Structure formats: C-alpha cells, structure tokens
C-alpha cells in the first residue's frame, strides 16, 4: 500500500481531499450538488480531446471543466439553473463522444477517468495538482466572506457591493478546477461524492463556517485515505469506496439529528 509506485497517488489524493473538502462546504451551502455532479462528467471527455490533440491530460480536463462553467453560467441567465446544467452536460458529452470516436484508442483511459485509477498518477502530475490546489484554496480564503454571505443571502451580498453573478461564476470556476484535478484519481462518476458527502456530514456537526470547513476537510481526508487502502486490498475501483464511504458518513451524521428530533417530538 505504501510501495514506491503508490506514493505519488497518496500525495495527489491528499491534496485532492483537502481541496474537495473545502470547496464542498460551499457546494452544500449553495445547493449546487447537481453542478458538482455534472461538471466532472462533462469534463472527462477533455482527456479524450487531449489525447487526440497531443496535449497533457490535465489541460484537456481544465479546458472542458471551464467550458462547463461558462455554459452553466451563460445559459443560467436565460434558463433555470438545473436546465442550464443539464444542457451544458449534454453538449459536452456530445463533444466527448466525437473525440472518443476520432481517437479510437482511449477505452482504457475512459474507464480510469470514470472510476478512478490511483496507480496511473505519475510524479509529473503532482506539481500541476498542487498548483491548482493552492490556487483554489487561496481564492477560497481570499473570498471566504463574500462567498459565504452570497450562499446564505444573495440579496444581502448585493447590498454589500458583492455582485452575486460574479461570485457565482467564481465559485463554479473553483468547482471546475477541483473537478479537473480530482478526475484522474477519484473518477468522474464520484468526484461529486467527495465534495458533497463529507461537507454534508460536517454541516450536521459544525456550528460555525470555519469549523464546518475544518471538519469537511478531515472527513474528506478520512474518506479518501480509507478508499485508497480498501482499493489496494480488494483491487476494486477507488471510486466505489469513495462513494460508499461518503454516503455512509452522511447517513451516520444524520443519526444524532434524528434522535434529537424524536426526543423533542
């Protein structure tokens, strides 16, 4: 499990868990779980495009993730947010199908990006992931209060001089960056589980925003580390364990709340 060929995966997975845990708090607060689900699936064809045009996989993922963000925000001005997200996802998946058919030799890569593949992480992947992670965390720290206020009350944020539309675009951009860096390890189908499950569980225990972020990061780290260990032992896809553990974590976090409601009732 700690063999030399796994070390790169452990490093990248730890960075991903910290970033996903921090971003996930705002995904839950803003009610954008559908976007957090759609962006990874819409971004993964970018790897097929990168293979077709001969560029690094991470750049293809980033380009498609940002196309997804622009599609959701632009279409969202004329349509409901869920409709805009669905239309954007369909468009990106259509482009992905085209790129896959043109490349003709990316089937194994698609499987890895859908379900996660820890051992495929190379030393050259660490620096881009670390750079993206620092960018996301730094932006979250710098814009923490505006993002928090716009999540709770867009009208109050606007009254304070913070444009909700700009903050929405900024936030979706951070989700897109997190998606691109996490896809190769966790997989497109379950990146959103890592962003939503730990953050939703943390919200059940935290009383302050900063505490929610710290708990979400801790839960995200525990989820991904446990998933890596179980994937190594069983040789099953890491994404399966991420989804299962995240769901179990959220279910367990709801138990105290339900007991308290029963007692009050």
Enumerate the domain spans of the chain.
4-264
Give the orientation angle of helix 238-264 with respect to helix 209-234, to 10 degrees: 140
- Answer whether residue 263 shows pLDDT above 50: no
What's the pLDDT tens digit per position in 163-186? 888 888 899 999 999 988 888 777
Of the pLDDT bands very low, low, confident and very high (cuts 50, 70, 90), residue 95 is confident
Q: What is the pLDDT of residues 186-233, one digit of tens each?
A: 777 678 888 999 999 998 888 899 999 999 999 999 998 998 889 888
SS3 52: helix
pLDDT in the model for residue 130: 92
83/53 Cα distance (integer angstroms): 31
Which parts of the chain fold into alpha helices (H)? 4-30, 33-43, 45-53, 57-75, 81-103, 107-115, 123-142, 144-152, 154-159, 164-186, 191-205, 209-234, 238-264
Total-model pTM: 0.84
Rounded to the nearest integer, the mean pLDDT of the chain is 83
Which CATH number applies to 4-264? 1.10.3470.10
Mean predicted confidence (pLDDT) in 131-135: 94
Nearest one of 28, 16, 4, 59 to 197, comparing CA atoms = 28
Res 264: pLDDT:
43
| 24, 186 contact by CB (below 8 A) | no
């Amino acid at each position: 499990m700690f063999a030399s060929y796994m070390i790169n995966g452990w490093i990248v997975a730890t960075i991903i868990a910290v970033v996903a845990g921090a971003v996930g708090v705002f995904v839950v607060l803003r009610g954008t779980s559908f976007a957090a689900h759609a962006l990874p699936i819409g971004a993964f064809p970018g790897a097929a495009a990168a293979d077709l045009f001969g560029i690094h996989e991470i750049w293809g993922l980033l380009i498609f993730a940002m196309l997804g963000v622009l599609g959701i925000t632009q279409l969202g001005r004329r349509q409901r947010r869920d409709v805009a997200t669905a239309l954007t996802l369909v468009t990106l998946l259509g482009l992905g199908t085209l790129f896959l058919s043109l490349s003709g030799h990316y089937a194994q890569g698609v499987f890895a990006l859908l379900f996660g593949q820890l051992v495929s992480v190379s030393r050259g992947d660490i620096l881009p992931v670390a750079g993206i992670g620092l960018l996301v965390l730094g932006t979250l720290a710098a814009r923490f209060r505006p993002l928090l206020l716009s999540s709770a009350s867009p009208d109050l944020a606007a009254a304070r001089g913070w444009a909700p539309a700009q903050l929405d675009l900024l936030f979706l951009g951070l989700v897109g960056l997190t998606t691109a860096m996490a896809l190769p390890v966790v997989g497109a189908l379950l990146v959103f589980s890592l962003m939503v499950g730990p953050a939703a569980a943390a919200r059940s225990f935290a009383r302050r925003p900063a505490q929610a972020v710290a708990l979400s990061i801790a839960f995200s780290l525990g989820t991904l580390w446990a998933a890596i260990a179980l994937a190594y032992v069983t040789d099953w896809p890491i994404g399966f364990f991420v989804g299962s553990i995240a769901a179990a974590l959220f279910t367990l976090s709801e138990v105290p709340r339900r007991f308290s409601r029963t007692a009050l009732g």
